[in-house]
């Protein structure tokens, strides 16, 4: 029942965005001011996590071209395959882990009651997908490329095209939500949310690459986005 | 850092529309046949059936009305049920959210967890691990919910007793209330400022 993992490589919180990143205005009032309390010795509470192998998925759960209308009509926009491999920091594939994603439509509009952007909804597009990685750690979605959209941060802030990506990994210690951006998008360096990261190399970990080899001729392009979760360590010497 | 190791993919905020991806009903969208949501327990599960509810509050004292939370807890015997399956009477994992509806409270239907052993051999007091994601939160915040009717266990808990400040320790303790035969624990999460909740790194 309980899969107890060993330790995980320490999260580098200078690599990840800090809580307080004032260029992204909402973070100002939503960032803790106190230091995080470090668990010097993580426990079973942190080293375990859910395994979703028995979650019953629908046949179109990873196909956003089909899953909102069950194929009654196709959405507008650039047809793409989004795929990649989930692995840990030692390059070890993470099989059978839950990958979830959500996104705006081709015009940058989300199917959410709070999104009032004037670009219209697409009657054939919902914008949500999920799948489990396979035995080798690969996941795959079919979708349309989302559009950029304006948001009230600076006077004229626009999000680059992005897909929100959520991955569980082997335990709640490896839990991660990120955003995938598209290679070459000139909005990436202008975005206050991207700029919450200090290290340009960290930004590179969030960029999906055009993958012609995995594109489908006369059908859809492909983007590859590999996801790295915290590495799982073996505990050789538990006690001194 | 050593080139021998890959760097973790960087975190980004879940943003304002996290619900369309991870909390479909809360976004007002149709649900799939099986969703990962806030009823972690079925009526026939063993253990004390409880509700845990709360709000998320920002540094201005205002409600955060677009948060998404994940819970991870042991079953009544103190074991983590890693195998998520909606046909089981209890799942250790649950999700909930605050929205612009329902007083902007999150809630979970669950059972009170049993004590889990700390690596030092002592028992930790019953607790629920919570992760908070939201617009404006660049990397999710991790906390623990403890129970105010577990005074003795809380005092002995190897994690809770490491918190030096008594005021801060109180931010992790949910308050029991009983309403209409339902046992409910209230746990408000303050992201910043007075009464700021303790968040963990692990």
Q: Note the pLDDT tens digit of each residue in B59-101.
A: 999 999 999 999 999 999 999 999 999 999 999 999 999 999 8
Give the global pTM: 0.96
d(CA B164, CA A139): 44
Question: Smallest Cβ distance to B93: which of A50, A177, A205?
Answer: A50
Q: Are B89 and B41 in contact (CB under 8 A)?
A: yes
d(CA B75, CA B115): 9
| Maximum CA extent, chain A | 64
A183 contact B CB<8A: no
- Catalytic residue, chosen from A24, A139, A149, A181, is A149
A149 is catalytic: yes
Nearby residues of A87 by Cβ (< 8 Å), 6 or more positions away: A93, A94, A137, A226, A227, A228, A229, B6
ipTM metric = 0.96
Tokens 């196909």 correspond to what residue? A63
Flag if A113 and B18 touch (Cβ within 8 Å).
Answer: no
Tokens 């509050």 correspond to what residue? B57
Residues 69-88 of A with CB under 8 A from B: 87-88
Among A37, A60, A89, the residue to mutate for chain B (most B Cβ within 10 A): A37
Q: Count Cβ neighbours within 10 Å for each residue of A95-132 and write b for 16 or more, e otherwise.
A: eebbbbbbbbbbbbbbbbbebeeebebbebbbbbbbbb
CA A106 to chain centre: 18
B117 contact A CB<8A: yes
Q: Count Cβ neighbours within 10 Å for each residue of A195-226 and write b for 16 or more, e otherwise.
A: ebbeeeebbebbbbeebeeebeeeebbbbbbb
Q: Could you give the domains of chain A?
A: 54-226 (2.60.130.10)
- How many contacts, defined by CB atoms under 8 Å, are there between A and B? 273
A110 is catalytic: yes
Q: Are B84 and A52 in contact (CB under 8 A)?
A: yes
Q: Which three-class secondary structure state does DSSP give residue A123? A: coil
What architecture is the B34-190 domain classified under in CATH? Sandwich (2.60)
- pLDDT in tens for each of the 202 residues of chain B? 557 899 999 999 999 999 999 999 999 899 999 999 999 999 999 999 999 999 999 999 999 999 999 999 999 999 999 999 999 999 999 999 999 987 899 999 999 999 999 999 999 999 999 999 999 999 999 999 999 999 999 999 999 999 999 999 999 999 999 988 999 999 999 999 999 999 999 9
- pLDDT in tens for each of the 240 residues of chain A? 556 678 999 999 999 999 999 999 999 999 999 999 999 999 999 999 999 999 999 999 999 999 999 989 999 999 999 999 999 999 999 999 999 999 999 999 999 989 999 999 999 999 999 999 999 999 999 999 999 999 999 999 999 999 999 999 999 999 999 999 999 999 999 999 999 999 999 999 999 999 999 999 999 999 999 999 999 987 666 554
Q: Are B134 and B189 in contact (CB under 8 A)?
A: no
Segments making up each domain of chain B, as ranges? 34-190
What is the distance in angstroms between the Cα of B180 and the nearest Cα belonging to chain A? Answer: 32
What is the distance in angstroms between the Cα of A217 and the nearest Cα belonging to chain B? Answer: 30
A240 contact B CB<8A: no
Q: Which of B164, B160, B156, B155 is closest to B172 using CA atoms?
A: B160
Among B4, B5, B13, B37, the residue to mutate for chain A (most A Cβ within 10 A): B13
């Amino acid at each position: 029942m309980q899969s107890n993992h060993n330790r995980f490589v320490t999260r580098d919180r200078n690599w990840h965005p800090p809580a307080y990143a004032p260029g992204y205005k909402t973070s100002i009032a939503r960032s803790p001011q106190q230091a995080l309390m470090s668990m010097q010795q993580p426990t079973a509470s942190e080293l375990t996590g859910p395994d979703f192998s028995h979650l019953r998925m629908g046949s179109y759960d990873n196909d956003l071209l089909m899953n909102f209308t069950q194929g009654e009509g196709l959405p507008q926009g650039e047809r793409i395959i989004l795929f990649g491999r989930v692995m840990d920091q030692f390059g070890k594939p993470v099989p059978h882990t839950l990958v979830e994603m959500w996104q705006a439509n081709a015009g940058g509009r989300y199917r959410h009651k709070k999104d009032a952007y004037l670009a219209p909804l697409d009657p054939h597009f919902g914008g949500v997908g999920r799948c489990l990685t396979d035995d080798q750690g690969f996941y795959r979605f079919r979708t349309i490329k989302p559009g950029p959209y304006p948001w009230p941060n600076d006077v004229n802030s626009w999000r680059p095209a992005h897909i929100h990506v959520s991955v569980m990994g082997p335990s709640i210690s490896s839990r991660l939500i990120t955003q995938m951006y598209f290679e070459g998008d000139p909005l990436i360096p202008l975005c206050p949310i991207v700029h919450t990261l200090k290290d340009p190399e960290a930004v590179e970990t969030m960029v999906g690459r055009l993958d012609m080899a995995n594109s489908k001729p006369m059908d859809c392009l492909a983007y590859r986005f590999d996801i790295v979760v915290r590495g799982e360590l073996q505990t050789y010497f538990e006690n001194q | 850092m050593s080139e021998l190791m890959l760097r973790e993919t960087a975190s980004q905020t879940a943003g304002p529309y996290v619900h369309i991806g991870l909390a479909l009903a809360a976004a007002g969208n149709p649900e799939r046949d099986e969703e990962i949501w806030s009823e972690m327990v079925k009526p026939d599960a063993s253990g004390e059936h409880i509700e845990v509810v709360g709000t998320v509050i920002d540094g201005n004292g205002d409600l955060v009305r677009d948060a998404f939370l994940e819970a991870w807890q042991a079953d009544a015997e103190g074991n983590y049920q890693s195998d998520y399956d909606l046909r089981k009477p209890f799942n250790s994992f649950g999700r909930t959210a605050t929205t612009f509806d329902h007083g902007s409270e999150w809630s979970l239907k669950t059972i009170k967890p049993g004590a889990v052993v700390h690596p030092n051999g002592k028992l930790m007091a019953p607790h629920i691990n919570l992760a908070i994601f939201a617009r404006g939160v660049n990397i999710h915040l991790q906390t623990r919910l403890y129970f105010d009717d577990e005074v003795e266990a809380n005092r002995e808990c190897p994690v809770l007793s490491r918190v030096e400040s008594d005021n801060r320790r109180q931010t992790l303790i949910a308050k029991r209330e009983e309403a209409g035969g339902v046992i409910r624990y209230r746990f408000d999460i303050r992201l910043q400022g007075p009464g700021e909740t303790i968040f963990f790194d692990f």
